Structure 1
Amino acid sequence: MYESFMRRCGKSLSSIFAVFCVLVAVSSVFAQTTGNLQGVVKDQTGAVVAGAAVKVTNTETGIVRETTTNEDGLYRVVNLLPGSAYQVEVTATGFSNRIVENVAVRLATENSVDVELGVQGASGEVTVTGEAPLINSTQNQLSTSYSQKQLTQLPYNGGSIDNLALLTPGVLTPGDADFTNGVGISANGNRGRSNNFQLDGQDNNDNSVAGPSLTITNTQAICDYQVTTNNPSAEFGRNAGAQVNAVTCPGTNNFHGSLFEYFSNNSLNARNNIEKQAGTAYRFLANNGFSQLEGLANRGGQNIFSNNRLGGSLGGPIKKNRAFFFATFQADIQNGEADTSNLGSGGLTFTPQSVQIARSLGFPGAISILGNTNVGGGPAFANVPGTFYVVPATQDTNGDGVIDAFVNPGGAFTNSLFVCNVAPAAGAPCPVANLVPLQTGEAIRISGNNSRSYQFITKEDFNITDKDTLNVRYIYDNTKFPNTPAAGGFLAGSFFDVPSKNNNLGVTYTRLISSTFTNEARFNFSRLDVKFGDPNGTLPAPGISFSGQRDVPGNFSSLGFGTANNLPQSRKVDVYQEQDTFSSA
């Protein structure tokens, strides 16, 4: 399946150039990759100071923006890159100069810094340190921003940076109601599919299954991460849930870098409740005739694994105050094995011995499907990775959630179906003595749990002139999940390789027209290429189930195997985006 999405807001032109949508922004609107800075300049008596010169400097890149206060003493500077190293200098005739350092500009936020000027000659130049206010009194949207320091220090369980959203007030996991890519989040009771994900101000939504199209796992790459949960600005739109916006890090005038590695394995991790429950079940089986499960019982149901996350970053100047670079790489390497079972569920599958009987007696489908080890996807004991066991049906007799007994006396398998080992006379039933039972039981599978993920992110920033800036960002993501079970197909033997590649290019050009007018043009191209199995390879076995009640009384859902008939499949999604935003201070 090949999908190509072209999103444009504006009238298509016959030109070969990109199509832009012009959004004339009112004074309260900011671009989705920047923030605004505003404040009121007053004297020591509280009277406003009109005509004061205000200079805002990004001390990390040398970018300077200048404006003057209006008759109400108000100044406003728009389209500032997020950061915490801004300097605000205010000068006015008859007053001492005032410098406020370490001013923070947060993403998509009206940041406020009021300045008080003293009488000239009273104390000379005054320098103070700015602090972000605890409450934003200039906007009515509810949002939480996370700095790069918070991204690297907050305990959000690694993986996708979108786990950080779960620390935001009003956001929680939708649980079983989540049907999206990545981390499931529900903001203020909205569906998990009602969220809008943006990367550097550009759409990052998977239009097929919702959630982010590109998942960022490298926290070194993100300098500002914002989750807006209520009353977002009009330029976001699209979804009623959370607006999730991530901005990649730029380079600065100082060389900086990092090397990191995070390691975890089963020896360093305590067992969780699910593993403890599984360990107790495996110990029951090992003590009751299934010694082959002794290994699982001895490790208490804990999966064997080792996770390595390693990488680094480097950034700095190409030319001081004019050109900068930043690049980061991260690799995630996981090795191990996982076990799963349907013990106590009542869902049954054929034993390998019964399939061999069915094959030898010509049971319909037994030769072409049940015992065919050359067909991808099953049945459960066909040619698939790992080790597969079938054990007699089990049950929990005391209600503590842990199996403690067999369903059938003596731990016998269930006689689910019967086949005749002779050809009876026409119209005559099979003699009872010639009926051969096909037995079923519950399943346990142990299989490899290995994956590889590589993510490279780079960004270059150019201050072409004092009024023109160019930003170029590229992301390459390559993820491989070999022998991945299809949804609900782990026990059924439905395994596929799931490789995924994502390329994402973003270009932003900003023109400072005057102290009050700014134009920002953005272009973004992304390509997602993901496969669930090999669409050109061997087709999987069909999903098969037996209708009606065939075994345990009241059980109508057992004896199913094979894989879903919509697999294998693939998606290749190209997304082009062009946007132009005109802002007025």
Structure 2
Amino acid sequence: MKNAFLRSATLLLVSALLGAIAALAQSDYGSISGFAKDPSGAVVPNAKVVAIDEGTREEHPTTTNDSGYYIITNLQPRLYTVTVEVTGFKKFTVEHNKLLPNSTLSVDAVLTVGASTESVQVTASAATLQTESGAVQNEVNGTQVLDQELNGRNPIYMVQLLPGVRGGSTLGDFNFATRGGQSWQINGTRSPDTLITFDGAPATRTRGNGAVIGTADVDSTQEIQVLTADYAAEYGRAAGGQIRIVTKSGTRDFHGSLYEYFRNSELNANTWSRNLSPTTNFTAPFRYNNFGFTIGGPIWWPKLSEKFREKLFFFVAEDWVRYRLTDTQTQAVPTLLMRQGNFSELLNPNPWYSGSHVIYDPGSCPSVGAASCSPFPGNIIPASRLSPNGIAILNAYPTPTPGYLAGTQNWIAQAPHPYNQRKDTLNIDIVATEKQRISGRRSDSSYYEYQPFSQGSGETPLYFRLPNQTNTISWLWTISPTLVNEARLTFSLDDAYNFVPSNAIGYQRSNFGINYPYLFGDKDLPGKIPTVNVPNFYSLAGGPYPSLSTGPIWTGSDTVTKIWGNHTLKAGFSFEYSGENDRDQINVSTVPGGSSNQNGTFTFTDARTGLGATSGIGLANLALGLADSYTEIGPRAYTIWRGAMYEGFVQDSWKVTPKLHLDYGLRITSIQGFHALWGNADFFNGALYNPSQAVAVDRVTGNVILGTGNPYNGVVIPGLKQFPSSAQGRVAAASSNLCDGQSCGGLFAPNLSRNYINTDNVLQPRLGIAYQLSSNTVVRAGVGRFATRMGLLDNIFPGGNSPFQPFVTLANVSV
């Protein structure tokens, strides 16, 4: 046994040397292995073994070694017929062996004495026991995907049928699209630790906390596999589990389908709760149509050689969704009298305040909240005191719906809410020679939605588009029956576009007479209405949009597989370059007093026209133009984030005995943290903070006293001496070299790493053991270390910090 382990260590070193010229691929290929034995149980060496792809008739030959063991690697996940031949025994054939992605299928042959011209034919069992790996993995096959009643026909939700997987919406919910927001946790790990792939291409957003790129097509999905624990060293980029979706391929025969699924409110009954209300005593409008086609087969023309039927294959699918809803929205909006500065309705019982509410004249008060303030007679503000911009903002609210009042809600409206989705799948397989195979995979998922009440009452509706894609091209070279190389390139793209239609009610503030000057220029939509927050009434919301973000992921990889006796050696190295083109950093604002609207955010409380809990009205402050605060954001930042990751591995899968399988290996990962290509991102570094340069703060108001200290004390642009040339003309601070009126030179910190977080040379040993106790029982054990990279989030990677995306908050302002 000692010599055997020494031999294994030597083989592992050899495979590491082979890996110096290779790079790891996140491959979905599998293997078929087994033993050839005679009726007495003795092993049969030098038997010819052939695995035949039942779809393309492509043959993959090998021979058993001195131990009677064979393994055929780098096989596409399909159905295979396995034949075993040797002189003195009947030919052994077993059909319909289902090979799953990233797995090894055990097919043993018990040979019968006789002439080789005779044969013994066996049909494989529908369910096979996984004995060749210590990894814990499960799969949902294509038949299950098609047969399962999926509400919305989104196949990725099928993973929730597997143990240890949770997240996303529940399987019974109506989900035809993932919308870039769904993520999954496996065995208690975080969702960013889960890797999702489509045909080996990463399909996890660089931005979005582990969410999936696009939506897979049910009719194009062949398998969904989940690696949950103890997987081998060849699998990386994730510290949690992996969800791997494999699409279908063409075969030597033509196959296709044409379909439509539909749901319609004409076939539905109204709900009990909707029947209770006179405004909803009808069946909610609902239109859902899902239609498409698939076709696959050989790329062949009758006049060409019949051999082409086994050389070129294609699979094409298109899937469309048309989903139509009608949304109903209710809000509490200012009455017609309130829009004139007349708040007399609030002196009587009313829906918005408990009891009467009096407004006091702030101009009669020596200070805010002073006891000697005088009320406005009749709760009516004189016309001479009204703010033109305040009245204009009041008139930007939708007008009350006559005769409608539900609680505090006095406005109701309905509007169409359409969704469109299209999914395209194109797969090409080329069997160039018996030793060369090239495969290409492309999956597109385009999602569109019009949200009529995106910001509450329809002033700024939203168009939401997600055109996403994954692409894979691989080259498989069988150098010899025991040496195989696979090269792979992938490209994934996650796009998200949010924009306001030009015919939106709130697209032009001038339509209502709003004309206050901005503090900053360079607005994306100069005429868009502001956001206005008032108590007890709907907050007028201009919203953060338009915006866009694009997340590209490039990977290049290759893997070498060497079969040596009962050992299957693999080694490799991978490279990934990814990032985010982020123009959506205005959307997330966690700064107190911050804004998500580039066109400004007002806050009106009840305080400035009140003396206590039963007085003061925020809408009255608005009519007077007296805001508690106003926040405005400057030019929108556009930050190009990029980072690289390098991973290498070496491993051995050793069939120690017919019952014992051992996987062991080592993976190494180096992660280059994301950085801003144009240098337009800054961070606070406590080690560089100088207490002597601290700004002074007014102890009464809590505001910074202007002109004191250094407002950028401890703030740095890491890893740069100056802005790169690519920033010129793209970053205002780079073009002017001015950061809030002072030189940007003091912010550069060339001695710090330019990357946010670097993780170098993380060693990840892996060990997996599988022991077959009986024909239907396998015991597994494993241990390993796993690494993943941090994703991109707006509140982690602050390209929107000052001075690149400045914002100002003013207190107690007039408009």
TM-score under structure 1 length normalisation: 0.73
CA shift for structure 1 position 201 = 1.1
Which residue number corresponds to residue 254 of structure 2? 255
Tell me the residue number matched to 2:5: none
> Alignment partner for residue 545 of structure 1, among 519, 522, 533?
533
Q: Distance in 2 between matches of 1:175 and 1:257?
A: 31
Shift in Å at residue 581 of structure 1? 1.2
Aligned residue runs from structure 1 range 136-215, under 5 A: 136-173=130-167, 181-215=180-214
Q: Does 1:59 align with 2:54?
A: yes
1:582 lines up with 2:560 in the alignment: yes
Q: CA deviation at 1:107?
A: 0.6
The correspondence for 1:507, drawn from 447, 458, 473, is 473
Q: Distance in 2 between matches of 1:329 and 1:74?
A: 43
CA contact (8 A) 1:21 1:580 kept: no
2:418 matched to 1:450? yes
Task: Please tell me whether the aligned partners of residues 174 and 191 of structure 1 are also in contact (alpha carbons under 8 angstroms).
Answer: no
- Select 2:377's aligned residue among 386, 411, 433: 433
Structure ID, larger Rg: 2
Q: Which of these residues, 269, 280, 297, is aligned with residue 316 of structure 1?
A: 297
In structure 1, what is the Cα distance between the partners aligned to 2:250 and 2:334?
61
Q: CA deviation at 1:336?
A: 2.1
* Equivalent position SS for 2:105: strand
Distance 1:417 1:66, change over 3 A: farther
Please give the alpha-carbon distance, in whole angstroms, between the structure 1 residues aligned to 2:298 and 2:59: 17
CA displacement at 1:478 relative to structure 2: 2.3
Tell me what 1:351 maps to.
333
Query: How far apart in 1 are the matches of 2:437 and 2:447?
Result: 33
Structure 1 residues 219 and 424 mapped into 2: Cα distance closer, same or farther (>3 Å)?
A: closer
Does the residue aligned with 1:466 lie in a helix, a strand or coil? coil
Counterparts of 1:444 and 1:109 in 2: how far apart (Å)? Answer: 57
Q: Which residue of 1 aligns with 2:218?
A: 219
Flag structure 2 segments of 5+ consecutive residues without an equivalent: 1-18, 171-177, 300-307, 367-371, 382-393, 395-399, 401-406, 501-522, 564-815
- How many Å separate the matches in 1 of 2:240 and 2:275? 40
Query: 2:123 pairs with 113, 129, 133, which one?
Result: 129
Corresponding letter in the other structure for 2:463: D
* Count, aligned residues: 477
State the shift of 1:228 in Å: 1.8
Aligned partner of residue 476 in structure 2, secondary structure: strand
- 2:505 paired residue number: none
Residues 1:329 and 2:273 aligned together:
no
Between the aligned partners of 1:222 and 1:458, the Cα distance in structure 2 is 12
Classify 1:538/1:278 alpha carbon distance in 2 versus 1 (closer, same or farther; 3 Å).
farther
How has the CA–CA distance of structure 1 residues 522 and 146 changed in structure 2, closer, same or farther, with 3 Å as cutoff? same
User: Does structure 2 retain, via aligned residues, the 8 Å contact 1:506–1:525?
Assistant: yes
Indicate the residue corresponding to 2:66 in structure 1: 71
Q: Is the 8 A contact 2:137 2:227 kept in 1?
A: yes
Question: CA-to-partner distance for each residue in 1:301-326, whole Å, 9 max, x for gaps?
Answer: x5321100000011111131100111
Q: Decide whether the 8 Å contact of 1:492 with 1:561 is kept in 2.
A: no
Counterpart code for 1:414? Y
Deviations 1:13-60 (A, max 9, x none): xxxxxxx996578xxxx9622111111111111111111110111121
Comparing 248-257 with 227-236, greater Cα deviation is found at: 227-236
Q: Offset at 1:147?
A: 2.1
Q: What is the match of residue 289 of structure 1?
A: none
1:119 to 113, 136, 142: 113
In 2, Cα distance between equivalents of 1:322 and 1:543: 62
Residues 1:529 and 2:495 are matched in the alignment: yes
Offset of 1:124 from its aligned partner? 2.1
Distance 1:210 1:52 in 2: 51
When residues 108 and 468 of structure 1 are mapped into structure 2, their CA distance, relative to the original with a 3 A threshold, is same
Deviations 1:397-425 (A, max 9, x none): xxxxxxxxxxx998844379968699976
Q: One-letter code of the match for 1:151?
A: V
In structure 1, the residue corresponding to 2:377 is in which secondary structure? Answer: helix
- Return the letter of the residue paired with 2:102: A
Aligned counterparts of 1:416 and 1:515: Cα–Cα separation in 2:
88
Stretches of structure 1 that go unaligned for 5 or more consecutive residues are 1-19, 284-293, 342-348, 364-391, 393-407, 551-557
In the aligned structure 2, how far is the partner of 1:31 from the partner of 1:476?
A: 20
CA distance in 1: counterparts of 2:539 and 2:241, whole angstroms: 39
Cα distance per residue 1:191-210 (max 9 Å; x no partner): 33332101111211101103
Q: Is the 8 A contact 1:350 1:441 kept in 2?
A: yes
Given that 1:24 and 1:583 are in contact with CA atoms closer than 8 Å, whether structure 2 keeps it comes out as: no
Aligned letter for 1:474? R
Which of 511, 514, 517 is the matching residue for 2:483? Answer: 517
- In structure 2, distance between residues paired with 1:69 and 1:417: 93
Cα-Cα RMSD: 3.5
Amino acid at match of 1:111: L
Question: Which of 463, 468, 472 is residue 431 of structure 2 equivalent to?
Answer: 463
Tell me the distance in 2 between the aligned counterparts of 1:500 and 1:426.
Answer: 54
Residue 532 of structure 2: SS of its match in structure 1? coil
Matching of residue 360 in structure 1 with residue 340 in structure 2 = yes
Contact 2:87 2:115 in 1 (8 A): no
Is 1:568 matched with 2:568? Answer: no
In the aligned structure 1, how far is the partner of 2:291 from the partner of 2:415? Answer: 25
TM-score normalised by the chain length of structure 2: 0.53
| Alignment-mate amino acid for residue 133 of structure 2 | Q
The one-letter amino acid paired with 1:234 is A
Counterpart Cα distance in 1 of 2:23 and 2:69? 22
